Structure 1
Amino acid sequence: VEAQAKLIASEHRWRALIEHDHDGITLTNEQGEVIYQSEGVVKITGYTLEERKGQKTLDLIHPHDLPAAREILFKARQSPNEVFRYTYRVRHKDGHYVWLEGVVSSQLENPDVKALINNYRDVTERKRAEEEIQGLNAELERRVEERTRQLAAVNKELEGFTYSVSHDLRAPLRIIDGFSQMLVEDYATKLDVEGKNNLEIIMKNTKKMGQLIDDLLNFSRLGRAEMHIAAVNMNVLVEEVLQDLRLGGTKLPEIQIEKLPGAWGDSNLLKQVWVNLISNAIKYSSKNPKAIVEIGSRIENEKPVYFVRDNGVGFDVRYKQKLFGVFQRLHKQEDFPGTGVGLALTQRIVNRHEGLIWADSWPELGAMFSFQLGLAKPVNG
């Protein structure tokens, strides 16, 4: 008698817990008909046990969710005691649908239960929030795509304009240079010293203007040039650049080269990156009688970072963002000649390889330019 009383008390305790739980618990027989439901189900669906007893649970499921619900129930019957998760919509008594998230397990073979046990909760508000976030994300993606298209169109128009202007400037520049040459050749004896000096200044600046236009054209063409992606041996590129510099008459300082890992990209464009970085390192360390240029790499985030380091004049790090702007220079023209386009061109090439380029410097101790490519996993050089 005492054992029976304890059993009854335990049953009352568990029933009280179930009836006061906000989650819903439904027991169905082998035919899928409701034989029991907790009070939580009334709060979730609006239906009482009297209204649902003997009715099939699938009757209330949203038509779009029925195939998945049938599959879950089939699996549950085939695998007793195993737990299967589900998320689907059921029709509330007042006609609207609510989202349920729950688990089902078959205890049909358990003589004390003989039922499929469903335990679920209402996740309608969470689903609405998720759908709202998805909608906002979709709208954001649409706006980003639209802005990207607009930016691409503006950039294309700007590149075309730059190319056109640069190309059109060549004609008057050639005329100025041509007439200057004629004055030198045909009227040299009639010009005094000041006249010859002025003519020399005109020709010198005409040449400089021509170089600026060439650099601007190269910068413009780069945005439209087709890339030919392949495995690139960086060691070969660096050796080619150094050989070209020697043949071009550049006096090379001490060059320290580490073995470089390979890359994936456009070989011609990446060669131009090395040309610009190595040439700059040589130029800005040229006033150091013991100039050294180091070329190497390191691994960051499982990808190679290539670098060129020198022990030249360096630069003020407060202005390093200007380094990669077109026609931006941090040193005087008379100290270190150049057009200020090389690093802008280099950054554009690296960007087209989905990479990054940055600079570090220690005034009077030198500078280091590093770049990392992102098109694909590097290959051995």
Structure 2
Amino acid sequence: TMGTLLDITALKETADKLAKRQLDLEMANNELEQFVSICSHDLKEPLATIRFGSEMLDKNFSHQLESKGKEYIRYIHEAAGRLANQINALLEHSRIGQNSEKQDVDLKQVLDTVVMDLAKSINDCKAKISIGKLPTIKGYEVELRLLFQNLLSNALKYCKKGVTPDIRISYFKDNDHYIFSVNDNGIGIEEIDLENIFKIFNKIHRNDNIEGTGIGLAHCDKIVKLHDGKIWVDSQPGVGSTFHFKLKA
């Protein structure tokens, strides 16, 4: 009997610690969301002023400036625009999983919507998109659409010049999880970047002119974790990448 009492006491202590840790985590997440929301609101106005000021300088005084002066104005305008995009992306990241409930999500329909949304990019590079049979899972529909949209968009963005993008999306079931793969024949990812690829504001290719906030894969990581899963990538520079992720069935 004494052994049973000790076991129950230990279990209760462990449960209490887990409950407290969960509460602390929820409070931290709420504080982070408030912080991001306040920062984004407070920063948007001065950023808009900077962009407006640079536009007025360019419009009204560019004729008085030499080429170097015009170039500096362009730098200011573009940098303010990039910062505004990053603030919006950070706010979007903090809101993932908020104010939504799990429901049955047909992932084939989700992919059909994503392909329609990316139709211009797909047509511009004449990409071939192959989508196998996909399951219906219990999840957050908006977030799952964002997950596939980010992965597909990345595969289109980092394609090889002169090579038709070939992107394949498939899955298989492994016990109580579905494992998905998004495979491309793009420029690939250097090994040095693989370790931190899912961290926020970590751009895959730092030395190129491809636009982006560097937060898309951080979105993917958060969405997958929201579905009790994980995400990883296999890649070979010059050959292509395959993003794998598993979601709770």
Same fold by TM-score greater than 0.5: yes
Is 1:183 aligned to 2:88, yes or no?
Answer: no
Is 1:349 aligned to 2:223, yes or no?
Answer: yes
Shift of 1:199: 0.9
**Unaligned ranges ≥5, structure 2:** none
| CA distance in 2 between partners of 1:252 and 1:153 (Å) | 47
Decide whether aligned partners of structure 1 residues 151 and 303 sit closer, same or farther in structure 2, where only a CA change above 3 A counts: closer
Q: Deviations over 1:305-358 (max 9, x none)?
A: 222111222224464341211111232152533211111112222222223222
Decide whether aligned partners of structure 1 residues 333 and 203 sit closer, same or farther in structure 2, where only a CA change above 3 A counts: farther
2:126–2:165 CA contact under 8 A, matched in 1: no
| CA distance in 2 between partners of 1:333 and 1:316 (Å) | 12
Secondary structure at the aligned position of 1:198 is classed as helix
Is 1:229 aligned to 2:102, yes or no?
Answer: yes
| CA distance in 2 between partners of 1:360 and 1:133 (Å) | 44
Task: Find the counterpart in structure 1 of residue 244 from structure 2.
Answer: 370
| CA distance in 1 between partners of 2:100 and 2:245 (Å) | 18
Q: How many residues align?
A: 248
Secondary structure at the aligned position of 1:323 is classed as coil
Shift of 1:170: 0.6
Is 1:162 aligned to 2:36, yes or no?
Answer: yes
Relative to its length, the structure with more helix (as a share) is 2
1:317–1:360 CA contact under 8 A, matched in 2: no
Higher relative contact order (CA 8 A, sep 6+): 2
Is 1:257 aligned to 2:113, yes or no?
Answer: no
Q: 2:203 aligns with which of 319, 329, 336?
A: 329
TM-score normalised by L of structure 2: 0.90
Shift of 1:149: 0.9
Q: 1:240 aligns with which of 94, 105, 113?
A: 113
Decide whether aligned partners of structure 1 residues 356 and 368 sit closer, same or farther in structure 2, where only a CA change above 3 A counts: same
Q: Deviations over 1:122-158 (max 9, x none)?
A: xxxxx42332222112111111211221122122112
**Unaligned ranges ≥5, structure 1:** 1-126
| CA distance in 2 between partners of 1:152 and 1:303 (Å) | 26
Is 1:359 aligned to 2:246, yes or no?
Answer: no
Q: Structure 1 vs Structure 2: percent identity of aligned residues? A: 31
Task: Find the counterpart in structure 2 of residue 291 from structure 1.
Answer: 165
Decide whether aligned partners of structure 1 residues 298 and 130 sit closer, same or farther in structure 2, where only a CA change above 3 A counts: same
| CA distance in 2 between partners of 1:337 and 1:266 (Å) | 28
TM-score normalised by L of structure 1: 0.61
| CA distance in 2 between partners of 1:273 and 1:250 (Å) | 22
| CA distance in 2 between partners of 1:301 and 1:168 (Å) | 47
Partner letter of residue 2 of structure 2? R
| CA distance in 2 between partners of 1:239 and 1:253 (Å) | 15
2:230–2:247 CA contact under 8 A, matched in 1: yes
| CA distance in 1 between partners of 2:192 and 2:4 (Å) | 45
| CA distance in 2 between partners of 1:143 and 1:229 (Å) | 27
Decide whether aligned partners of structure 1 residues 288 and 355 sit closer, same or farther in structure 2, where only a CA change above 3 A counts: farther
| CA distance in 2 between partners of 1:278 and 1:295 (Å) | 9
Task: Find the counterpart in structure 2 of residue 282 from structure 1.
Answer: 156
1:1-381 aligned within 5 A: 127-223=1-97, 225-247=98-120, 250-287=124-161, 289-317=163-191, 319-374=193-248, 377=249
| CA distance in 2 between partners of 1:266 and 1:316 (Å) | 32
Partner letter of residue 189 of structure 2? F
Secondary structure at the aligned position of 2:196 is classed as helix
| CA distance in 1 between partners of 2:232 and 2:70 (Å) | 45
2:159–2:187 CA contact under 8 A, matched in 1: yes
| CA distance in 1 between partners of 2:235 and 2:184 (Å) | 10
Larger radius of gyration: 1
Partner letter of residue 41 of structure 2? H
2:150–2:217 CA contact under 8 A, matched in 1: yes
| CA distance in 2 between partners of 1:159 and 1:229 (Å) | 21
Partner letter of residue 131 of structure 2? I
